[in-house]
């Protein structure tokens, strides 16, 4: 058995975020944005259907450490 540990260390002016996203059958192409106030600070790559993905990020500290995640759908209901 092979185990590997991956971790990131953020700078003192950054905030660590770990996001786990599990997609269903009909979400291919879906992505998300992370906002600090009204400014986009991160945009994910599009998701693949029936997949779980873990992302670890260092985000610039917004001052209050509050962020908003906005799901960006594709297809008939979204901008795709």
pTM of the model: 0.73
CA 77 to mean position of chain CA atoms: 20
Q: What is the pLDDT of residues 23-58, one digit of tens each?
A: 777 666 788 999 998 999 999 988 877 888 888 999
Q: Which residues pair with 39 in a beta bridge?
A: 36
Given a contact cutoff of 8 angstroms between Cβ atoms, the answer to whether 18 and 56 are in contact is yes
């Amino acid at each position: 058995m092979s185990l590997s540990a991956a971790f990131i260390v953020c700078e003192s002016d950054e905030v660590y975020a770990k996001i786990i996203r599990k997609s269903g059958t009909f979400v291919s192409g879906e992505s998300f944005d992370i906002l600090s106030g009204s400014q986009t600070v991160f945009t994910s790559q599009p998701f693949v259907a029936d997949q779980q993905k873990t992302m670890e990020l260092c985000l610039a500290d917004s001052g209050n450490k509050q962020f908003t995640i906005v799901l960006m759908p594709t297809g008939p209901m979204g901008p795709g």
